[in-house]
């Protein structure tokens, strides 16, 4: 270990910014966090990822029963599913 390190060219913040993501502060109830943490642990994924998926599904409610799905909606679902498969665990 060195006695001194040169941080004169250092930058604050995350080393690599996540594309398409924004860091925010949000207050959630303890039971909600605990629920998602338990689900995430059982499925081997991150609880924040699961919360994000739940919020995304609320943005895109399922089609009404008996109503045909549009080609655009089907493409969107397929893209989302494919992107989830490509993400590293």
What burial class does residue 40 get, using C-beta atoms within 10 Å of its C-beta: 0-12 exposed, 13-18 middle, 19+ buried? middle
CB 50 within 8 A of CB 40: yes
pTM of the predicted structure, to 2 decimals: 0.53
d(CA 57, CA 62): 8
- Give the DSSP letter string of 6-40: --TT---S-SSPPTT---------HHHHHHHHHHH
pLDDT tens digits, residue range 32-75? 999 999 999 999 999 999 999 999 888 877 767 777 888 888 88
Token pair belonging to 88: 């590293």
pLDDT tens digits, residue range 8-19? 888 887 667 778
């Amino acid at each position: 270990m060195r006695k001194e390190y040169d941080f004169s060219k250092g930058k604050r913040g995350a080393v690599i910014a996540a594309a398409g993501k924004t860091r925010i502060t949000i207050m959630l109830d303890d039971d909600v966090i605990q629920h998602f943490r338990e689900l995430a642990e059982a499925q081997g994924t991150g609880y924040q990822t699961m919360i994000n998926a739940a919020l995304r599904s609320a943005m895109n409610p399922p089609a009404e029963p008996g109503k045909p799905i549009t080609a655009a909606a089907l493409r969107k679902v397929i893209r989302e599913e494919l992107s989830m498969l490509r993400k590293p665990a």
